[in-house]
Chain A
Amino acid sequence: MLARARTFTIEGLQTRAVTVEVDIRAGLPTFTIVGLAGAAVREARDRVRAAILNSGYEFPERRITANLAPGDIPKAGPGLDLAIACAVLAASGQLPTDRLETHALFGELSLDGEVRPCHGTLAIAQAAREGGLRALVLAGARAREAALVEDLQVVVAERLVGAARALKSGSGDPLPARPAHLDSDAGAAGDGCGEQQGLGEGARLDLSDVRGQPHAVKALILAAAGEHNLLLSGSPGTGKTMLAQRLPTILPPLSRAEAIEVTRIHSITGRLQDGELIRRRPFRAPHHSITTAGLVGGASSGWVGEVVLAHRGVLFLDELSEFARPALEALRQPLEDGRVAIVRARHSAVYPTRFALIAATNPCPCGYLGDVERCNCGEAAIARHRQRLSGPLLDRIDLIAHLQRPGCRGASGAAVPATAPPGGMLGADQSNAPAPTSAEAREQVVRARERQAARLREEGVSANGQMDAPLLRRHVALSERAEQLLRGAQERGMLSARGIARVLRVARTAADLDGSARTREQDVALVLSLRAQDVRAGRRAA
């Protein structure tokens, strides 16, 4: 007798529909699974057999063939267990077959017949709806995640028996209650992304924790408001990492569509802990020992890199000059196109990678360049350091903020009286005043983004950071005096043609933050103070 069940498998970030066909007929008792089954799927044989027997059903002592169609795509993961088990039951007449046509089944089976949650539930639920199926049967632990998809009935089955009952009657177990720690909505909005690298769970970061460095804070807000990539350069202990960690707190909240995109990626890669929608932008801070494959993906089929996990969020590269050159070079496509196409011998995939890049670096190997008394780096070492930073990646960085140590002696001689260290309580002067709170900054950012979106609606881009040269000409609206200033800078040799485009993009964001329709002189002046520097006279070029 023959029975079919519907399920899905995940390949990279994509889902593929799979039909499980089970045929039972007379012969020596065997159970074979065919159809490019991966290791976990082949093991399903033993799990399914034990689960069926332990659930009180009969496992047919006949020749059983399970075929996973289509036969040309590889299937991986344990999520096919439930579908295989139900098809076996239906083929042996222990289960009616009618609902198997309209209900997708997704879950791993334990030997005692319990249905276990699997990674990628959200993606499977989306695929089930797009595939025209009416319902998805799955474990209770992932039901909330599947319920994020509208127009799809979520049927909870905690055990194989429950799944069989649901397929008979159409109604499953009750949806489990929402965990208590997620009950208050305000609390949930903060977390959600299970694995926040570099952020302690429950840490409440706020931009106003930052003392001093008003210029760098400004750069951070500009970067957030216009989707510009930012490089923070400064001596150890000046607060580069502190600032970068606070970037997600001032970015606009994820829209629902974006949140589902992010949740889907994190669900498939197994980083979603509670099955809730991720509302906070991801913040990924990989260590600088990361490999190219670790950064962009491609180590094995279905392995996604940090750039994909940072999608719609922030990718923070601390100690940029310590990263391997090939890894940094590999960032070019993700940065330019907002996607990365991974092609390997046995698999290929395209992943979305729209993230804000924020990088931090010491100005020289020892970190104290510019401080005549502390920096011990030779010219060659400085040139090498610079060389590691320069190149195609730096081309994509619009803003460079130099963080100064408070009380650092100016190179021109006079010692400036030391102010309090960052975060200190001393000193009421402006350089030590706290930065705006994250809420205030985020509001500015959101308003600026709205202005950009309104202006750029017809151009197919949403933020100033994505404007190319023709768009810049159309939308920058440079005031006369600003143009004069820019021309002066160009004549002085401070800016190349590409440098000018970069200044214009960011200056437009500065004007948007202030609510100005025109890009004014002071916007250009601000951005000029945050641009990449030429190599100084007497310093070796990289």
Chain B
Amino acid sequence: MPAAPRLSATARMPTAPDARDACPECLRRAWLLQTLSVRLAYRVREPERLLQALGLPDEQLIQAFGGRRRTELIERHTSFAPAEHPAAPGVERVCRHDHRLPAPLRREGAPRMLHVRGGVERMTALLAAPTVAIVGAGRASDYGMEVAYGLARGLAASGVTVIGGLADGIAAAAHQGALRAGAAGVTVMAGGVDVPTPASWRELHRRIAVEGCALSELPCGSVPRTWCHVARTRTIAALARIVIAVEADDDPSELLAARLAQAAGATVAAVPGRVSAPGARGPHRLLREGALLVSEAQDVLDALYGVGERRAAASHPPLDSRLRAVLDRVSAGSDTVAKLIAADEDPSGPSERDVLLALAQLECSGAVVRGDGGQYLACV
């Protein structure tokens, strides 16, 4: 298939000598966003306005946000030389004038180009598979993170590509789940692809870049500002066929990914929680509005491929009735050894010894994990 014809805005713009790189116009756009980053961060607070602003052509963007530096910016914009902005080593660039840019990003308002770590080819392969974004709160409960981890692991093992940002809580748990299944997903970075933020996720970022891929619309070295997180969310929402909200407050900023996905016509799904938990409010609102209820990877596979078409890989081998009984009680809230023993009032129930043995075996088979407070959690 021949490359898409380049839409060169001005005849002055020389075409890139390397056809595999992004075109100068799109590079200039990325440069402009990076240059205006600080101004965007404090001039635009609401996501809607930001998304509008990101849809503006370059000249209007400079007019709107250039401030006193407008004239200077226009000058620099006009004399932009792509040769001065080479791709960083290990980073490939692809723009909307290249057929390799993922199709969902050809819409109005989507990023014009992507910086890719991990290779455009791998990105294409990953995005050719069904894509699922797992989104949610940064400050999530053990339960929420376990669900995100388990869902991502189950989906990744079934050939689904897991997409998400790089952030504390649900996002990190989802990426770790996918890595656990041996199928790293796609992470969309808020800043440059070589700027792992939050810095404590550097190692996770590195692993995803090596095994999966990391994307960003901003040039390498860009420090993420507040607006970048909204911009990143719009990319995630655009790339995913299903967006699953695991834990989120009922708050427009936390539900942004789901809202954008709704607007773009993607499926929105949500994992229910306990009614009184703050992290369940967001998913419950989505469910009230008709979102797909997801409790395990199988639900997502049914939605992607049709009911019963694909079976999710089991997260743990089948359990015998003795282990199953203990697992059920753990799921029901008896999450410590003391509670498990206390729950059997009748003397014929399992002894402490049996309970401990069952828990150890369940842990070894991956059916339960320990929470931060030492309590046992049933895996999804």
Binding site for B on A (CB under 8 A): 212-215, 233-235, 363-364, 369-373, 378-380, 382-383, 400-402, 404, 408-416, 419, 429-432, 485, 488-489, 491-492, 494, 521-522, 524-526, 528-529, 533, 536-541
Contact = CB atoms under 8 A, between A and B. Distances in A.
Contact of B335 (A373, A410, A492): A410
Interface of B: 138-146, 148-149, 168-170, 172-173, 176-177, 180, 198, 200-201, 203, 273-274, 276-279, 330-339, 341-342, 345, 352-353, 356-357, 359-361, 363-366, 369-375, 377-378
Contacts, number: 182
Contacts of A432: 342
A213 B279 contact: no
B141 A540 contact: no
Contacts of B345: 429
Contacts of A538: 140, 144-145, 148-149, 168-170, 172-173, 176
Nearest to A369: B372
B334 to A, nearest CB: 7
B250 to A, nearest CB: 16
Nearest to A214: B338
A404 B200 CA distance: 29
Nearest to A401: B374
| 5 interchain residue pairs of minimum CB distance | A402-B374, A370-B373, A538-B173, A414-B333, A538-B145
Contacts of B369: 536
13 contacts: A233-B374, A373-B276, A382-B372, A415-B333, A416-B334, A430-B341, A494-B364, A524-B360, A525-B359, A533-B374, A536-B372, A537-B172, A537-B177
Main secondary structure of the interface of B (DSSP, over half): helix
Contacts of A429: 342, 345
Given A419-B342, A537-B146, A541-B203, A370 B331 contact: no
B358 to A, nearest CB: 8
B335 to A, nearest CB: 4
A215 B375 contact: no
A372, A412, A429, A492 — most chain B CB neighbours (10 Å) = A412
A463 B201 CA distance: 42
B337 A529 contact: yes
Given A212-B338, A404-B336, A413-B333, A373 B277 contact: yes
A78 B330 CA distance: 67
B246 to A, nearest CB: 10
Contacts of A380: 168, 198, 200
B145 A492 contact: no
A537 B173 contact: yes
Contacts of A413: 143, 273-274, 277, 333
Contacts of B279: 372
A493 B375 CA distance: 19
A492 B139 CA distance: 27
Given A214-B352, A431-B339, A431-B342, 16 more contacts: A215-B338, A372-B277, A372-B279, A373-B276, A404-B339, A411-B371, A413-B143, A413-B273, A413-B277, A414-B333, A416-B339, A430-B341, A431-B341, A529-B356, A533-B374, A539-B145
A281 to B, nearest CB: 28
A402 B336 CA distance: 9
B172 A431 contact: no
Given A212-B338, A370-B375, A416-B333, A521 B357 contact: yes
Given A364-B372, A370-B372, A411 B143 contact: yes
B339 A369 contact: no
Contacts of A212: 338
The SS class assigned to the A binding surface is: loop
A526 B198 CA distance: 37
A354 B339 CA distance: 36
A516 to B, nearest CB: 12
Given A402-B374, A533-B372, A538-B176, A522 B140 contact: no
Nearest to B142: A411
A401 B370 CA distance: 12
Nearest to A536: B372
B90 to A, nearest CB: 24
Contacts of A492: 363-366
Contacts of B278: 372-373
Contacts of B336: 215, 402, 404
B332 A414 contact: yes
A412 B331 contact: yes
B364 A488 contact: yes
Contacts of B370: 533, 536
Contacts of B144: 538
B373 A404 contact: yes
B374 A537 contact: no
B341 A525 contact: no
Contacts of A521: 357
Contacts of A363: 372-374
B273 to A, nearest CB: 7
Contact of B360 (A382, A408, A430, A529): A529
B373 A489 contact: no
A417 to B, nearest CB: 10
Nearest to A406: B338
A451 B274 CA distance: 50
Contacts of A213: 338
A171 B170 CA distance: 83
Contact of A526 (B145, B332, B356, B363): B356
A430 B343 CA distance: 9
A221 to B, nearest CB: 14
A369 B140 CA distance: 11
A408 B278 CA distance: 17
Contacts of A494: 363-364
A416 to B, nearest CB: 5
A490 to B, nearest CB: 9
B360 A528 contact: yes
B359 A529 contact: yes
A150 B375 CA distance: 55
B141 A372 contact: yes
A8 B170 CA distance: 69
A270 B371 CA distance: 47
B143 A412 contact: yes
